[in-house]
Structure 1
């Protein structure tokens, strides 16, 4: 894996992992869970990619950790877990009762 991406410009229902692996069936609702203005899924896609620092030429390769722990599916599993956490968080938050403001309750 060098860089993951969505299936298309407006198609976030799946993630292209590499030439052999594509993850599909991601509900649009999973993108409703946001951290600092970006969905958790988008954070993973943004941060888990091979990059090289221009000045030092040091390469940051997230695949190194997968090799280190002998778990080639680590990044795929992480993405799947993030989708599940996102969906469950959206479901739980939607089920919460409305929060009364402090001004309404003296």
Structure 2
């Protein structure tokens, strides 16, 4: 399994797409506001679907690779 910043891609998306408030400034970071502004409410769902597709295809391709052999000289 591959990692993005030490986390699985799904964990990374979940962490990024949370409403957070900066303690020092009180600024609200709401990814849902961006989704509404761009009239694309399915963006996160589509992103997760893409991540699942890439993960499944990666596993399929790895399973098709020949066994790795170290040839001693």
TM-score (norm 1): 0.56
Asked if 2 retains the 8 angstrom alpha-carbon contact of 1:40 and 1:86, the reply is no
Alignment of 1:4-83 (within 5 A): 33-35=1-3, 36-83=5-52
Q: Residue in 2 aligned with 1:91?
A: 60
- Where relative contact order (Cα < 8 A, 6+ residues apart) is larger, the structure is 1
1:9-45 residue CA offsets vs partner (Å, 9 max, x unmatched) = xxxxxxxxxxxxxxxxxxxxxxxx3214422111111
- Point out the structure with max Rg over C-alpha: 2
Which has more strand, going by share of residues? 1
- Say how many residue pairs are matched: 72
Which has more helix, going by share of residues? 2
Gapped regions of structure 1 (runs ≥ 5): 1-32
Superposition RMSD in Å: 2.0
CA drift of 1:72 comes to 1.1
TM-score (norm 2): 0.76
